[in-house]
Structure 1
Amino acid sequence: MTTELPARVRRGYALGSVATGTFGTVPGLLLLPYLTDTIGVGAALAGVLVFAPKAWDVVLNPIAGRISDRSTHPAGRRRPFLVRAGLTLAVLFAVLFAGPSEPRVLAAAWVAVAFLGCASAYAFFQVPYVAMPAELTLDYEERTRLMTWRVVVLALAILVSGATAPLVADQLGHRAMGVYVGAVIALGVLGAWWGTRGAPEHPGEAAPGTFADQLRLVASNADFRAVLLTFMVQAAAIGTVLAGVAYVADDLLDSAAAHTFLFLAFVGPALLVTPLWERYAHTRGKRSGYAFSSAFLIVGMTTLLTAHAGWTTLTYVAAALVGIGYAGAQVFPMAMLPDVAADDAQRSGANRIGVFTGVWTAGETLGLAMGPGIFAIALTVGGYVSSTGDETVTQPDGARLAIALGFSLVPAVLTALSLVALRGYRLDDRLRSADVA
């Protein structure tokens, strides 16, 4: 039997993906080229500066989950974190691109400190936000519907922020872009906070024991380990693709417009097929859908290698295939996570949902952070030449090949490897049978 949430709650919860999608996209898209091509930081150091603050979230996210698990705020266990941490993130994002461009050491330090602040605020927004579905509904099918709404909004957020932020940066500068993106994040935060007011909650009792005890129990859950590892490795693959978009547009396709068109090709199909992935989950299950959508990712990423030959149209087709796969590779694991957490709460009688989501978002953040780092390594190996904003550089053939490989075959291999871990997920069949009964 299915218990549906009010449509207002589904839409309101989904608006939080405006914040998560925007913050997940824009730094991965623009921060590395901002460091290498505006400030003039070397590719290897730029990769460290992008990776390190988000790697900090690997430590912070489980702590944020534990804190939100134990919250007793009258406005709800999770919602107050959304508005406080989310608005802090919006302000700090504007600060991120408001620093000096020289001297180079000071400019790089400004980015490192501001991005660390952004990552910290994001942890206390994202973890409670991701924890909410397991407490909003106990229904297997309803969680998939909730995630479908979320992924549609996520795709729109990626489209809007990914397509417009580079245009704002080009026309008005990076400072204006930071303010603009901060405002977009704030709108998503306020929408989620307002839209989920009065939503049902099934919080359960906070789990007893120390934080280390809870982490060990979460880590011992085989289904959770399987879906987390799959999602984390795929996040690294997607992060690598995102980090390469600006370099592909400028150095391989030689077109500023290609930046926007790549995003349109990527997100447009994702918007169309997301409801179809929901239907697939209903008939075939979430694990099967996750594997099938991952196959689209692998084929699309491999075909992105055509960018090296300057085959623009085929590159856009490849990006569309990646977008189709990406939609499913978000819907299914995001719906599987609350299944795992709720199943654990039902079996144990204790609420560890915040710890589950804290570890989950730590893995996702680490994966997305690894993407630019992996791409930066490829640039370094290929001999990429960094520059400041007033310089024009022709990249050597080795750097062009490194851009192409980092944008295509490297993430394709990562995605293929992730499917090995997915074989360990066994919860799907049991939950589907119980829901039908």
Structure 2
Amino acid sequence: MTTSTRLSSKTKLAYGVGDLGAAIATAINGFFLLNFLINVAGLRPGIAGNVFLVAKIWDAVNDPIIGWLTDRTVSKFGRRRPWLLIGAIPFGLAFFLQWIVPPLNETGLFWYYLLIAILLDTAYTAVNVPYVSLTAELTQDYDERTRLSSVRMGFSILGGVLAAFFHGIIVSQFPQDPKLGYMVSAAVWAVTIAGPCFITFFGTKEPDFAINAKPAVEGPGFFEGLKIALSNKPFILVTTIYMLSWLAIQFAQNNLQLYTKDWIKMDMGLFSFLLLAIQFSSFIWVLIWAKVSEKIGKQNVYYLGAGFFVLALMGLFFLQPGQVVATFVLAVIAGIGISVGYLVPWSMVPDVVELDELETGQRREGVFYGFFVFLQKMGLAVGLFISGWALELSGYVNATPGLPDPVQPASALFAIRVLIGPASAVILLLSFLAVKAYPITREKHAEIKVELDKRKNNQPIPSTLLPEE
């Protein structure tokens, strides 16, 4: 089978299921971690935000380096798949340790959660960067990549649906001891996180050109490679789209539990069902948008989906306490937009990889995807940091486990509403500028593919297709 033909359903499913582990960790962290650190572990909101911002200093080095290393990995299994075996178990273990509350003071807790955050990010990177890099190697067909990304994102959102729903259900079984509830749930999900890595490893096969690829010992080194990647205009635009859309999603996710509990006054027994509504809507619309993009293009799909998300975010800002049904309606509408934040940027990156190959003669998926995974985690970290300090400065009152929730001051409630509404909406609207400027259409990608084929056959490349200096 050539890399330009359609992939088998078995390969697509085996690849797609591999995103479950990352999706479970991301969903639970996104919806529950801020509340856990503040109201269960007992950290002040600002200190909780600091933990994850500091951890990103290591991530700024960790993600691109592991991506670069996967580009230079040589084995009979390929460049990417061996990393899934190396990182799977450490990933699950670090996730479990994140949800334990050790008997330490606030300073000790800060250092504990910082260390675990670094370990978790490293293990996440070791699994997720090579995993997402496989997209560009399994197929080189423009529309097939969108279909492959839609299967992957379908599993990703499905994993988020199950994790977010059942995590809340499990924790709610321990109303008098939420620390134990979080630990029990984390143990369940830690085991679940590792399994998909093995399914992808055994269910897919890297093509011959990837298995036989030689490390670029004569080409650009790590720092020169990063310089080339960051000078690639389409890549900068795609990363801007992804970073802004993911940051908007994280603002909404990080603060949703606080918003529904402290502002809407929703019964927290309904919270898991609210998450189910969001994630199920996203799951359905990822599949719909994948089909629609084949008709109107990726950029237009992004405009439409993100427009729904903006409307939902602004609607949440204007809701009043007690409007539970309206909250559920807006959650379903938000899912329509969240789905394009998952689907569109990820389906654009493989096209950027091939534009880079046209310029450098090398396939360096690991470098590009390393930055992408870094931005995903950076979005979560920045969201937690800004949310934490916004709550700290607005006077948010920490809850005490086992006791009734405290009444929050008006300033804290307003801060939560701004974070989940206008702040997220403005960030998302800024991403439209990058989408408008993104230059690789279906027609442009077809031209790039033709010229890459010519290069493989030792034919000259027209200068009009080479990226500008």
**1: CA distance between counterparts of 2:323 and 2:381?**
29
- Residues of 2 paired with 1:280 and 1:92: CA distance? 39
Alignment identity in percent? 27
Question: Which of 231, 239, 243 is the equivalent residue of 1:228?
Answer: 239
1:422 partner letter = V
For 2:401 and 2:110, the matched residues in 1 are separated by 15
Could you say which residue in structure 2 is the equivalent of 1:388? 400
2:25 aligned partner, one-letter code: F
Question: How far 1:131 moved relative to its partner?
Answer: 0.7
Partner residue, 2:282? 270
Q: Does 1:241 align with 2:248?
A: no
Offset, 1:332: 1.3
Instruction: Report the secondary structure of 1:333's partner residue.
Output: helix
- Contact 1:239 1:367 (C-alpha < 8 Å) held by counterparts: yes
Other-structure match for 1:183: 191
**Separation in 1, partners of 2:215, 2:357:** 10
Counterpart residue identity of residue 248, structure 1 = Y
User: What's the offset of the Cα at 1:225?
Assistant: 0.5
Could you tell me how far 1:306 is from its partner in structure 2?
Answer: 3.8
CA distance in 2 between partners of 1:236 and 1:336 (Å): 18
Determine the structure 2 residue equivalent to 1:368: 380
Cα deviation digits, residues 15-41 of structure 1 (max 9, x gap): 121111111111222221111111221
Structure 1 range deviating more: 294-303 or 136-145: 294-303
User: Which residue does the alignment assign to 2:464?
Assistant: none
Q: Is the 8 A contact 1:21 1:155 kept in 2?
A: yes
Question: Given that residues 4 and 139 in structure 2 are in contact (C-alpha distance below 8 angstroms), is that contact kept between their aligned partners in structure 1?
Answer: no
- 1:253 maps to a residue whose letter is I
1:45–1:222 CA distance, 2 compared to 1 (3 A): same
Task: Tell me: CA distance 1:341–1:433, structure 2 relative to 1, closer, same or farther (3 Å).
Answer: closer
Match of 1:343 among 337, 342, 355: 355
Equivalent residue number for residue 228 of structure 2: 217
Q: How does 1:299-318 map to 2 (within 5 A)?
A: 299-318=311-330
Tell me the TM-score normalized by structure 1: 0.94
1:416 has 2:418 as partner: no
Structure 1: any 5+ residue segments left out of the alignment? none
Alignment partner of 1:110 is 2:112:
yes
Superimposed CA distance per residue, residues 402-426 of structure 1 (whole angstroms, 9 cap, x where no aligned partner):
1122112211111011212222210
Q: Report the 3-state secondary structure (helix = DSSP H, G, I; strand = E; otherwise coil) of the residue aligned with 1:423.
A: helix
The Cα offsets for residues 237-266 of structure 1, whole Å up to 9 and x where unpaired, read as 111111112212321232112321221221
Amino acid at match of 1:223: P
User: Does the aligned pair in 1 maintain the 2:19–2:156 contact within 8 Å?
Assistant: yes
Show structure 2 runs of 5+ residues with no match. Answer: 175-180, 451-469
Q: CA deviation at 1:429?
A: 4.2
* Partner residue in 1 for 2:144: 142
Contact 1:134–1:341 under 8 Å retained in 2:
yes
CA distance in 2, matches of 1:425, 1:256: 42
- Alignment TM-score, normalising by the size of structure 2: 0.88
Q: What residue is the counterpart of 1:174 in the other structure?
A: 182
Q: In 1, are the aligned partners of 2:251 and 2:419 still within 8 Å (CA)?
A: yes
Amino acid paired to 2:244: V
* Contact 2:49 2:381 (8 Å CA) reproduced: no
**Structure 2 Cα separation of the partners of residues 312 and 102 of structure 1:** 38
Could you tell me how far apart the structure 2 residues matched to 1:390 and 1:258 are? 19
Give the match for residue 79 of structure 1.
Answer: 81
1:326 aligns with 2:333: no
- Asked whether the equivalents of residues 131 and 353 of structure 1 are also in contact (C-alpha less than 8 Å), the reply is yes
Task: For residue 179 of structure 1, report the CA deviation from its aligned partner.
Answer: 0.7
Q: Match for residue 95 of structure 1? A: 97
Q: CA deviation at 1:71?
A: 0.1
- Deviation digits for residues 376-409 of structure 1 (CA, Å, limit 9, x no counterpart): 2321232101133134311112211211221122
Count of aligned positions: 436
**Does structure 2 retain, via aligned residues, the 8 Å contact 1:252–1:307?**
no
What SS class does the counterpart of residue 406 from structure 1 fall into?
A: helix
Deviations 1:276-325 (CA, angstroms, capped at 9, x unpaired) = 21122111111222222221221121112244433211121111111111
Q: CA RMSD in A?
A: 2.0
Partner of 2:457: none
**Corresponding residue for residue 307 of structure 2:** 295
Q: Deviations over 1:111-138 (max 9, x none)?
A: 2211210011111111111111111111
Q: Is 1:258–2:270 an aligned residue pair?
A: yes
Aligned residue number for residue 200 of structure 1: 207
Mapped to 2, the partners of 1:176 and 1:336 lie a distance apart of: 39
* Preserved CA contact (<8 Å) 2:172 2:269: no
The question of whether the paired residues in 1 share the 8 Å contact of 2:77 and 2:206 is answered with no
What residue is the counterpart of 1:407 in the other structure?
420
Q: 1:245 to 1:258 in 2, by over 3 A?
A: farther
Structure 1 pair 184–429 and aligned structure 2 pair: CA distance change class (3 A) = same
Question: 2:56 & 2:358 partners in 1: Cα distance?
Answer: 32
Q: Is the aligned partner of 1:156 residue 2:158?
A: yes
- What residue in structure 1 maps to residue 456 of structure 2? none
Match of 2:36 in 1: 34
- Residue 458 of structure 2 is matched in structure 1 by none
Q: Tell me by how many angstroms 1:13 deviates.
A: 0.8
